[in-house]
């Protein structure tokens, strides 16, 4: 098998050949797709070679940045911690690869002594344990002194209960957020750090891959009213501990403990914390640990829960409501309640469910991006498209790394029928929150609509993997099963998809969101119009204005849109809601 796999776009074939020859001259076994055998399926060979390679060199270009093939191969290499990136034209890299070190070979003409080429060779040598630079080059590749930078790996949940994962994840996210407020420190983004969640990793390899000077890892044990947090800061070059500590505290001290950890890291790195940075780190959305715990629990439940199930929706709202009762000034809890009320189809009969709570959150904190994002969705529902567009732009400007903001931007782009934008936002959301299965599920629809089969299958694989994890926690999660049906159908497993749909409808028959998603799969992927219309009958009977705006543009329903039964159900729903036909 090969040491090195080379991924590239077809227009850069000459440069790929040049890179391959340069590595072969150093003694590496290199594979690229001009070596494909004629007797085997293309995708099968690619997957096999990609998996077996010790290093994957991705050659980025303007075309490669748009290629779902290259992105998929780079995704796999990043997940396997064997990605080496180089660019040949300076084109902007797609997310999240723009956050990983990339060698610039724009002007490289094959010179073995070029610094950019030596950087590529050094990375390949570290990953493969191969020959690296030839003896004549020894001593020429001393690393420049690195700026202090850190990756906070997701803290391990040591509570012995999977349903406590939300708390350890929340602690990890808050430490990342705190450290980003230190101007002298570069911090790896949450979505990149969380790709290592649950994996046994070599800390030095993580540091090399992400080009960071330090890595923080730790664990959280929460039991009763106590919390134990262990944390260790590791030098990425030597693997030695720079600092380590164990904390045993009452949960009532959780905020002071987070501040203490962040400030200890800054001190261990011998950085000076400016007064305004210290103040920013210590500024919390709430001062009540019980409200904070309820907020973290509700957010995790919203992301991975059973969307479309009334009981699940009411649980999220109930948790947020309790958090705001404890601390009425907790703007983030008000915003999360608004998101839950808007997204989960609560059957209250109030058409503006969530808007009042979003406005309350903004009154408390006008800089809260999530509140602006959910308000944008309500403005769209009210027919105020320009205001909705302005509001979502505000949200993206305030926090482009927010999961909730990118989901709302994806929803609005989808309903505006801007599928390229919807894809961009759903891809970002999927990268930001790994447990969430609905975002790769929406990508299946978006990519299928633009005819990108390769990307559709990639999204389906991601979706199915996340669905299976969700079902391992709750076998009755109808929302997960519905997205699993779509993923299986997209992967060509039609019979398995039908089996899942039958099982889902037996287990959770009153889940309207699940019924809709299965109907979409039956219509758009499995070609069963009668079964799709049958499922939609119940859905249309309770559909909201927002539901109808989605139905009218959903490409999955295009095969049955002209069916008399579909038109009749749509007309009846519009009449019930007092809407004029458009």
pLDDT in tens, the chain (582 residues): 567 899 888 788 888 888 888 888 787 888 776 554 444 455 566 777 787 788 999 999 888 888 777 888 888 888 778 899 998 887 778 877 776 878 888 878 777 777 888 888 888 888 887 654 333 333 333 333 446 889 999 999 888 776 678 888 888 988 998 888 888 888 888 778 888 888 888 888 888 888 889 999 999 998 878 889 999 999 988 889 999 999 998 888 888 888 889 889 999 998 887 888 888 777 778 889 899 989 988 888 777 665 555 676 788 889 999 999 999 999 999 999 998 888 765 444 455 578 899 999 999 999 899 999 999 999 998 889 999 999 999 999 888 888 889 999 999 999 999 999 999 999 988 888 877 899 999 999 999 999 999 999 999 999 999 999 889 888 888 889 999 999 999 999 999 999 999 999 999 888 888 999 999 999 989 999 999 999 999 899 888 888 888 999 999 999 999 999 999 999 999 998 888 654
pLDDT tens digits, 191-216: 788 888 888 888 888 888 888 899 99
Position 440 scores a pLDDT of 93
Kindly report the number of other CB atoms within 10 A of residue 279's CB atom.
Answer: 11
List, as one string, the DSSP characters of 8-19.
--GGGHHHHHHH
| Of 372, 370, 358, 286, nearest in space to 329 by CA | 286
149-284 CATH pick, 3.40.1710.10, 3.30.1360.120, 3.40.50.10610, 3.30.70.1150: 3.40.50.10610
Per CATH, domain 4-137 is 3.40.1390.40: no
Using CA atoms, how far apart are residues 227 and 247, in angstroms rounded to an integer? 8
* Strand 4-7 to 55-60 pairing: parallel
Question: What does the domain layout of the chain look like in residue ranges?
Answer: 4-137, 149-284, 447-582
Q: Which residues are bridge partners to 241 per DSSP?
A: 234
SS3 label, residue 59: strand
- β-bridge pairing 83-87 and 149-152: unpaired
Element (H, E) at 525: none
Query: Any bridge partners for residue 56, and if so which?
Result: 5, 83
The residues facing 231 across adjacent strands are 218, 245
Per-residue pLDDT at 39: 43
Structure token pair of residue 339: 């998101």
Task: Give the pLDDT of residue 495.
Answer: 95
Predicted confidence at residue 19, as pLDDT, reads 87
The alpha helices in 215-306, defined as continuous H runs, are: 254-268, 275-282, 289-304
Tell me whether the CATH fold assigned to 4-137 matches the one assigned to 149-284.
yes
Q: Which CATH number fits domain 447-582: 1.10.1760, 1.10.287, 1.25.40, 1.10.8?
A: 1.25.40
Is 347 in contact with 312 (CB distance < 8 Å)?
no
Torsion sign across C-alpha atoms 88, 89, 95, 101: positive
pLDDT at 395: 92
Peptide bond into 203 cis (omega under 30): no
> Nearest CA to 495 among 528, 535, 463?
528
Q: Is the dihedral of CA 371, 545, 564, 509 positive or negative?
A: positive
H or E, element range at 86: strand 83-87
Task: Classify residue 575 by burial, with Cβ atoms within 10 Å: 0-12, 13-18, 19+.
Answer: exposed
Query: SS3 letters for 52-82?
Result: HCCEEEEEECHHHHHCHHHHHHHHHHHHCCC
C-beta of residue 26 within 8 angstroms of C-beta of residue 132: yes
pLDDT at 350: 53
pTM score over 0.75:
no
Buried b / exposed e over 299-320, threshold 16 CB at 10 Å, is bbbbbbbbbbbeebbbbbbebb
Here the tokens at position 538 are 């119940």
């Amino acid at each position: 098998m090969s040491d090195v796999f080379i991924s590239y776009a077809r227009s850069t074939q000459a440069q790929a050949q040049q890179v391959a020859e340069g590595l072969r001259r150093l003694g590496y076994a290199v594979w690229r797709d001009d070596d494909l055998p004629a007797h085997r399926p293309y995708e099968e060979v690619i997957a096999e070679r990609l998996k077996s390679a010790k290093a994957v060199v991705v050659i980025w270009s303007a075309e490669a940045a748009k290629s779902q093939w290259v992105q998929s191969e780079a995704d796999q290499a990043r997940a396997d911690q064997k990605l080496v990136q180089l660019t040949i034209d300076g084109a902007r890299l797609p997310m999240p690869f723009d956050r990983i070190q990339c060698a610039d070979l724009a002007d490289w003409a094959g010179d073995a002594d070029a610094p950019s080429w030596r950087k590529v060779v050094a990375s390949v040598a570290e990953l493969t344990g191969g020959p690296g630079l030839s003896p004549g080059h020894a001593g020429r590749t001393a690393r420049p002194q690195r700026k202090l930078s850190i990756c906070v790996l997701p803290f391990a949940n040591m509570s012995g209960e999977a349903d406590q994962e939300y708390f350890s994840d929340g602690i990890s996210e808050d430490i990342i957020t705190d450290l980003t407020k230190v101007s002298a420190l570069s911090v790896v983004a949450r979505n990149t750090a969380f790709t290592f969640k649950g994996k046994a990793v070599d800390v030095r390899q993580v540091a090399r891959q992400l080009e960071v000077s330090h890595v923080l890892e730790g664990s959280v044990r929460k039991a009763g009213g106590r919390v134990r947090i262990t944390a260790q800061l590791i030098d990425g070059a030597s693997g030695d501990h720079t600092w380590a500590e164990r904390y045993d505290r009452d949960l009532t001290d959780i905020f002071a403990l987070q501040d203490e950890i962040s400030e200890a890291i800054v001190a261990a790195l011998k950085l000076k914390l400016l007064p305004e940075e210290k103040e920013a780190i210590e500024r919390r959305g709430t001062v009540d640990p019980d409200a904070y715990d309820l907020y973290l629990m509700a957010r995790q439940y919203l992301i991975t829960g059973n969307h479309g199930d009334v009981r699940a929706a009411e649980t999220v709202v109930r948790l947020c409501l309790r958090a705001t009762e404890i601390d009425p000034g907790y703007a983030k809890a008000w915003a999360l309640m608004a998101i839950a009320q808007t997204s989960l189809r609560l059957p209250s009969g109030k058409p503006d469910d969530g808007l009042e709570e979003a406005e309350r959150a903004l009154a408390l904190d006008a800089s809260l991006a999530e509140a602006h994002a959910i308000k944008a969705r309500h403005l769209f529902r009210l027919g105020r498209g320009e205001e909705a567009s302005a509001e979502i732009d505000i949200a993206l400007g305030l926090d482009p790394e927010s999961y909730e903001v990118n989901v709302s931007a994806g929803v609005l782009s989808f309903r505006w029928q801007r599928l390229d934008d919807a894809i961009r936002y759903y891809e970002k959301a999927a990268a930001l929150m790994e447990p969430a299965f609905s975002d790769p599920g929406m990508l299946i629809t978006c990519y299928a609509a633009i005819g990108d089969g390769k990307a559709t299958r990639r999204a389906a694989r991601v979706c199915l993997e996340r669905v299976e994890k969700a079902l391992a926690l709750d076998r009755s999660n109808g929302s997960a099963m519905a997205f699993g049906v779509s993923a299986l159908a997209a992967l060509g497993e039609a019979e398995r998809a039908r089996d899942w749909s039958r099982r889902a409808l037996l287990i959770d028959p009153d889940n309207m969101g699940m019924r809709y998603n299965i109907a979409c799969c039956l219509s758009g992927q499995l070609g069963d119009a009668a079964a799709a219309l049958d499922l939609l009958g119940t859905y249309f009977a309770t559909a909201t204005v927002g539901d109808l705006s989605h139905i009218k543009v959903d490409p999955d329903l295009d095969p049955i849109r002209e069916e008399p039964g579909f038109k009749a159900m749509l007309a009846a729903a519009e009449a019930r809601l007092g809407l004029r036909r458009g």
